[in-house]
Amino acid sequence: MSTATTDLLQDARIAVLGYGSQGRAHALNLHESGLDVVVGAREGGPSWKRAQEDGLKVATPADAVKDADLVAVLTPDMTQPKLYEEAIAPNIKPGAALLFAHGFNVHFGRIAPRDDIDVNLVAPKGPGALVRSEYQRGRGVPCLVAVAQDATGQAEAKARAYAAGIGGARAMLIQTDFKEETETDLFGEQAVLCGGASELVLKGFETLTEAGYQPEIAYYEVMHELKLIVDLFYEGGLAKMLQFVSETAQYGDYTRGPRIVDADTKARMKQVLTEIQDGTFAREWTAEYDAGLPNYKKFKQADLEHPIEKVGAQLRARMAWLHKDKQAAAAAGEPMKKAG
């Protein structure tokens, strides 16, 4: 456990810009750690109203920044450059700290902070809901900590104090830099966690249904049961997964897994990583966003219209544990009919 404390920020004002999943968790945790927090949000908007209902001070982003000693930027990546130019750069005072939860915009030069401010990063390794719930349990989620610019000589200390305020220091603080955090985060999302896992599931579903198996059974085998394996990974790594699956499953893992994800797959992963490292992905994503997201919308709609989503919605509707308030209705439902 880290020895970091919030002492350095006890007399500071912290502006949290954005009140989504991470923003709300950070703001509430900091507030309950005894720190002076103001939320920057669009006046009268949903985030403004929710922050007020949560008992926090709220101001427009520009007004929140003006008196802040630390400004935490927790809005979506693509909105941050405009936010910086319009609300932060003209208002942040010299010697203040500008803190991010993801290094994308600083690392790829989409935001060039003034040289009279600290620029640091605190990235919890978990979603906002977990950051909040662990804090409420007296625990915390491990955080990555980094410094891109140290104007005051206290940039890292400020980041560690902030991490303590959101509960991260109760667990673990891992020192990194903006480059490592940004590039590994993007790679994980693209090659394994989102892109890799979702494509593996879809191709498995298509393989089974095209071979004539029922889509309901295919769904259970390649998507639903994935949670069981991921939970074991999460709790105890490969060792726990191998402990709890059958010997038959283990042998299939050892002999067939490398035929699915092989050396060619790894080579393509390396190419994806290269495109992250050299800025190709950042330029492509920025251009896509600036063009109004035409390809993004097309890709997203294709996923939503995939047959696995139709059968999945039907099956999940019968999973009472996912809908506790509808448990009685689900229990009284008719048995699923065989497909076809």
Give the active site residues: 102
Please tell me the number of Cα atoms within 13 Å of 142 on its side-chain side: 8
Reduce the DSSP state of residue 212 to 3 states and report it. Answer: coil
Check: CB of residue 229 under 8 Å from CB of residue 252.
no
Q: Hey, which residues does 98 pair with through a beta bridge?
A: 71, 119
Q: Which two tokens stand for residue 4?
A: 């970091």
Residues tagged in the binding site annotation: 19-22, 42, 47, 128, 185, 189, 221, 225, 246
Burial (CB count within 10 angstroms: exposed 0-12, middle 13-18, buried 19+), residue 199 = exposed
Closest CA to 91 of 55, 118, 64, 72: 64
Backbone angles phi, psi at 263, to 5 degrees: -60, -35
Distance CA 65, CA 40 (A): 8
DSSP structure string for 36-72: EEEEE--TTSHHHHHHHHTT-EEE-HHHHHHT-SEEE
Residues tagged in the binding site annotation for Mg(2+): 185, 189, 221, 225
Residues tagged in the binding site annotation for NADP(+): 19-22, 42, 47, 128
The distance of Cα 24 from the centroid of its chain, to the nearest Å, equals 14
CA–CA–CA angle 96, 138, 133 (5° rounding): 80
Residue 268: count of CB within 10 angstroms of its CB: 12
